[in-house]
Each structure stands twice: as C-alpha cells, then as structure tokens.
Chain A
C-alpha cells in the first residue's frame, strides 16, 4: 500500500520539529518497506497542534497532532490501520476551530502543496486574474472599491481609492510594492500565507499591476523570515514558468514581473515610505507626506503599496465578486480579517473571521485564555504600537472604528495575550525602548521622545516624584502622538497610555529585591 502524508513546511511547524518528522516518517516507512509520499503543505493555523500531520484517506485527510519524533511509529500504525490514537484529531476539515472560521484569504493555506502552480490552479487559483484580464482598468478598480477592502497592514485605508489614484496617474513607469515587512510582534499571517499559499499573493499583485498599468512589482520581505523568502522566490519562478508572470501573461498581451527584496532588520521599514526608501537602496528614513506614494512612490513613480494580506484578498474578490466579500463584516470594516492569537495563549494560531466578532470571544472562547492557565490580565491588539486592553473591554467588536473609539487599533490583526504575572509599567517601558531602538531618527518626538520615555518610566518605577513624572509621561506621549512623522513615534503612546490608563496600579515604585547582607 501507499500512504500520502502531509507534514507542514510552515516555520511555526518547523520550529517545533516538522523537518525532523519528515526524516523520521521516511525512516519508519523504509523500515516497513511502505511506500510513502510526503507533501510539505503550509499550516492550517492551529499552531498549538503543530506539527500537525495529516494522512489522506477515502473520507478526507485525517489529522494527528502535535506529533513528536517518539510518536512516529505509533502514528504510522494508526494511519495504516485507520485506527485510534491519542493524538488523532479526526478529519482535519471537521475540526471545530477550523469550522468556526470564514476562510476567504486563507482558504487554501495548509491544504495545498505551496510549490507547484498546478496545485494552486486546481484549487481555484488564478480564476481572479483570468477574469481581470478580460476587464478594463476601471472595472477592476471598481470591484476592489465596492468590496470595501481596506489596507490590512494596519492603517485601514480603502484599497480601491489607492488603486484608482495610481491608475489615474500618468507616468512612464508605475510600480506595485508588497509590504511583507511584518515586524509586529504577535503577527504572522503574512508569513503563513507566503509560506503556505504564495501564489495568492503573486496573483493579487498581478491583478493590481493589470488594474493600474504597472508592469513591475517588488515584494519586500523582512530578513527574519527566511522560509517565506524562499517560498516567494520559488513561487515567482514557478509562476513565470507557467506563463502567469512575464511579458505576455497567458497570451493576453499584458506584462507583469515580480522580484523579491530582502530587508535588513529595521522595524521602521514596515512604514510604507521608509520601505520605499529601503527598496531604493537607502537608509529606511520616513518620507514626509504628501506627496503620497500613489503619486510619487518608488523611484519617484506612482506606486501601489499594500500589505501582503491586502493583495491576498484580491483574487477572491475578482473571482467571486465584490459583493461576496462585502457581505461579510460590520460597519465600514468589510470582509474578513485573518486574526492571529499569540503570546501566552492556549489555542494560538490563525483565525480568519468576518469583522464584528468581539475581543472576548476571540480571547476567551477561540484562544481559550492563557497557556499557563492563569487569568488573562491584558491583551495587546495590533502589535508593538497597539493598545493594551483589560478584560473589562472585551466587549469591543473587531472593527477599525470600534477600536479607534476606545483609543486602540486593530493594526495587522495580532492579539498578544498576557496572564496576571505581567508588569504593565515594564511593558510600557518596553514600548518606549523598542521605539528608541527602531526609530529612523528623522523626527524629534520619536527619536528623543522615546529615550526620554524610557528614562521617565524608570524614574516612576524607582519611585522618584511619581505624580510629577506621570504628568511628564502623558505630556511626552501627547507630543509623540501628534508630532511624529509616522506611526512608529505616533503610535508608541498607545501601548504606553493604555497601560497607564487601565493598569495604573502598576505605575509606582517597584519593590526592590533585598540585597543579601
């Protein structure tokens, strides 16, 4: 007999032993003279179950997880016999945590083999681009606008408006740039989709190119993501070989080409103008806006710059229609958001769902609270620049405006969970310290303010003139919020001020450990 076994190649699976499992399964199979085909799929996003291994059966793929080296022999027995096993999770598609989701962007992630373009096409890939190739620019842009898609990188700017601006601009060259500088702690959706379904990003960017009249695109990936870099480079090669990229896409006469560029460890390069500077080979210094990148972007030319998840949402919209996407969501937040549950989390992973779900449902029901089993004290939503929310605010719906109303932001959709051992003035200090490390240095509030912020919080923690220094901290935060050029200095006050507002009891003298006599 022959077995088809799926072992994820996603970095989150690899970091807990997926590569070693491949070797172990091959060794076991060889020992038993069993024919085995191992597919390195992406991750389905149930990361507490990684490495989650699946076997193809007539009834669907049966999952086991988390599988360790020592389990390989017994899991293989259970696979062959279709029998019980402690790690057996049943049919993968029927796992409740997956069934509760609305997967539009991540529909193929974890299911397909991310390498061959044929597998992508067999799972409805490139239908969006095929339709786009039969449309005119205005029609494609209108679809994107009607879908209500907003920038998934964090700013939430309507994607259709951005595209229209570039489409209307006159220039000898235009560019498409994909921001894959996913530096926010607690976020990994970009990494997962690039590793698990790279063609959806490539297709989304190609559609953007056709829509606005750009023939060249860049994907700027952070150097901390070596697996994603390889996956995208291989994906681009495969798409070129199959005629989905190049001078004459599938005989349409339209041209579009892509190139991967690797970052060099600067968080600020996730800011779009800083990223453009970096792409041009310069220091990642933020540009003042205007001019907007849509008018003067990469190399001074009109540029569409969007997040990975924004581009990855496009193929669904073009294939299924703008309305199919806009039917999900609430208020002005349309469609779905791939939410990432992270930190001290019991059921951590990627949960794609329509906007409108409450923070409490996500943290308590979906994520199951903390891994340590202690009560949740705070969650940080939206990465290092996002606010800390206490459980009393868990009724906040996941929606751009609802979070803004409560002095928070959904950012890139990451939720980092902390238990009751967290020291919130330490987290506030970290936010300032991180800003100081990563500031590009162009504007004073960010460059100097962050360092003064660290010093001020240190004074508070030492018990020096606490009331006065709290006022200084608030004043400083206001200056940074309103005086900084970009979101790094401008949003660092969110974690700081929210920590202070919701956890004031943590801002005072920290008990010193008594030195030994």
Chain B
C-alpha cells in the first residue's frame, strides 16, 4: 500500500465525516476526503456516512459505486491513467496503451502482481492538442511517444 496514505481508523473516519457535516449534499465531498486519507473507501466507512447524514446504507453505497473515481480497495503504489478518448486515439494513443499493457503485463483496470502499478483508463484530461496524454500519480504528461511512454513506465515501476 502507498505509504502516502493513512491506515484505516474508524476514529479518523468519524473525524473526516464530522469535518464536512455542514456541507449541503456533501456525500461525494466526504467520499473524496475519505479516499484522500486512506487511498480508497474502506467498506466500514459506508454505514458511518449513512448514519451521520441520516441516509440509508443503500443510498450511500449507491453513490459510492456510481462514480469511477472511488476505489473499493487500495491501488498499487503508483497509478498510471492513460487517456483513451478520441483525440488521444487520433494521435496514436491505442498503440501506446497496448505498449503499456504489454510492458506491465496487465490490462487496463488492473494492478501488477507486485502491487507497484495500477493501470487505468481515463476519458479525457483536456490535453487534446498535446495528445496522447496520461497521468502518473496526479502528474500530467502530454505528447507521449514510445520513448516518453517507456520512461513513464520505468518511473511507474520504481
């Protein structure tokens, strides 16, 4: 698990939920904050949010599972998101995605066996004139070619 995140703690989770208690309609805000702290949304957090916000567990679970951003389990040490949208495809993104899959030995949406890299698709980073683009742990990279992709993959596997 990424050392940047805190280990699960119910007390800490309660604190986070409390910090956003005043935010109207703030379930997504709270889920973001929990994921920011723990690296994913641990299952016990769902009933805790429901309780605090006077919602049913099903409602909170429904929100949690609707959005692509929220993780059900910790990601690898690094997360590499490759844009799969049209503009990046037009600029040769498909071949680079295949290259990344091949070199990491995993398909999009999966984590390498050594837990180092989670490879994910992303649909548009708004970098469509400097395509193809990707994001490694929140850092954006554009004008990818084989050389730049390889460098990115090396960095991701560290």
Is B88 in contact with chain A by the CB < 8 A criterion?
yes
- Contact segment of A143-151, A315-323, A344-352, A461-469: A344-352
Partner of A281, one of B27, B128, B130, B133: B27
- Which chain A positions have C-beta within 8 A of B26? 281
- Contact segment of B4-12, B110-118, B138-146: B138-146
Is A182 in contact with chain B by the CB < 8 A criterion?
yes
What separation, in Å, do the CA atoms of A281 and B28 have in the docked complex? Answer: 5
Interface string of A255-284 (1 = CB under 8 A from B): 000000111111100000000001111111
Cβ-defined contact, A299 with B25, below 8 A: yes
Cβ-defined contact, B128 with A342, below 8 A: yes
Cβ-defined contact, B86 with A380, below 8 A: yes
Within 8 A of A (CB), among B52-81: 53, 59, 62-63, 66-70
Query: Which residue on B lies nearest to A434, using beta carbons?
Result: B123
Is B129 in contact with chain A by the CB < 8 A criterion?
yes
Contacts A15-B140, A15-B141, A430-B86 given; does A47 touch B126 at CB 8 Å: no
Cβ-defined contact, A299 with B91, below 8 A: no
Cβ-defined contact, A283 with B25, below 8 A: no
Cβ-defined contact, B68 with A12, below 8 A: no
Partner of B124, one of A224, A263, A348: A224
B55 nearest CB across to chain A (Å): 9
Most buried by A among B53, B86, B91, B142: B86
A188 nearest CB across to chain B (Å): 4
Most buried by A among B32, B130, B142: B130
- Which chain B positions have C-beta within 8 A of A187? 126, 128
- Which chain A positions have C-beta within 8 A of B85? 185-186, 384, 434
Partner of B129, one of A226, A266, A340: A340
Most buried by B among A188, A414, A430: A188
Query: Which residue on B lies nearest to A347, using beta carbons?
Result: B129
Is A128 in contact with chain B by the CB < 8 A criterion?
no
Cβ-defined contact, B129 with A342, below 8 A: yes
- Which chain B positions have C-beta within 8 A of A266? 66-68
| Size class of the contact patch on chain A | 35 or more
A224 nearest CB across to chain B (Å): 5
What separation, in Å, do the CA atoms of A184 and B28 have in the docked complex? Answer: 22
Cβ-defined contact, A262 with B86, below 8 A: no
- Which chain A positions have C-beta within 8 A of B63? 281-283
Is B87 in contact with chain A by the CB < 8 A criterion?
yes
- Which chain A positions have C-beta within 8 A of B142? 12, 15-16
Partner of B130, one of A264, A348, A384, A416: A348
- Which chain B positions have C-beta within 8 A of A265? 67-69
A446 nearest CB across to chain B (Å): 15
- Which chain B positions have C-beta within 8 A of A418? 90
Cβ-defined contact, B126 with A191, below 8 A: yes
Query: Which residue on B lies nearest to A261, using beta carbons?
Result: B29
Cβ-defined contact, B129 with A188, below 8 A: yes
Cβ-defined contact, A416 with B25, below 8 A: no
What separation, in Å, do the CA atoms of A208 and B41 have in the docked complex? Answer: 37
- Which chain B positions have C-beta within 8 A of A227? 140
Cβ-defined contact, A224 with B125, below 8 A: yes
Cβ-defined contact, A262 with B32, below 8 A: yes
What separation, in Å, do the CA atoms of A316 and B70 have in the docked complex? Answer: 39
Is A238 in contact with chain B by the CB < 8 A criterion?
no
What separation, in Å, do the CA atoms of A342 and B88 have in the docked complex? Answer: 9
Query: Which residue on A lies nearest to B62, using beta carbons?
Result: A283
What separation, in Å, do the CA atoms of A190 and B128 have in the docked complex? Answer: 13
What's the tally of chain B residues with a CB closer than 8 Å to chain A? 42
Partner of A348, one of B123, B126, B128, B138: B128
Cβ-defined contact, A47 with B129, below 8 A: yes
- Which chain B positions have C-beta within 8 A of A48? 129-130
Cβ-defined contact, B69 with A188, below 8 A: no
A57 nearest CB across to chain B (Å): 27
Is B31 in contact with chain A by the CB < 8 A criterion?
yes
Interface string of A30-67 (1 = CB under 8 A from B): 00000000000000000110100000000000000000
Partner of A279, one of B25, B66, B133: B25
A218 nearest CB across to chain B (Å): 10
Partner of B126, one of A50, A188, A281, A438: A188
- Which chain B positions have C-beta within 8 A of A416? 86-87, 90, 128
Cβ-defined contact, B89 with A430, below 8 A: yes
What separation, in Å, do the CA atoms of A140 and B73 have in the docked complex? Answer: 51
Most buried by A among B24, B27, B133: B24
- Which chain A positions have C-beta within 8 A of B106? none
Cβ-defined contact, B127 with A15, below 8 A: yes
Partner of A226, one of B62, B70, B138, B141: B138
Is B153 in contact with chain A by the CB < 8 A criterion?
no
Query: Which residue on B lies nearest to A279, using beta carbons?
Result: B25
Is A363 in contact with chain B by the CB < 8 A criterion?
no
Interface string of A386-418 (1 = CB under 8 A from B): 000000000000000000000000000010111
What separation, in Å, do the CA atoms of A278 and B64 have in the docked complex? Answer: 11
Cβ-defined contact, A183 with B25, below 8 A: no
Cβ-defined contact, A183 with B67, below 8 A: no
What separation, in Å, do the CA atoms of A19 and B25 have in the docked complex? Answer: 36
7 example contacts (A-B, Cβ-Cβ < 8 A) are as follows A16-B142, A185-B86, A186-B85, A188-B127, A266-B67, A418-B90, A438-B123
In the A-B complex, list the 6 residue pairs whose CB atoms are closest, starting with the nearest.
A348-B129, A185-B85, A15-B142, A343-B90, A342-B128, A264-B67
Residues of B within 8 A of A (CB): 24-29, 31-32, 53, 59, 62-63, 66-70, 85-92, 122-131, 133, 135, 138, 140-143
Residues of A within 8 A of B (CB): 11-12, 14-16, 47-48, 50, 182-188, 190-191, 223-227, 261-267, 278-285, 299, 340-345, 348-349, 371, 380, 383-384, 414, 416-419, 422, 427, 430, 434, 437-438, 440
- Given known contacts A188-B129, A224-B125, A434-B85, what 7 new A-B pairs fall within 8 Å (CB)? A15-B130, A48-B129, A186-B85, A281-B27, A345-B129, A348-B130, A349-B129
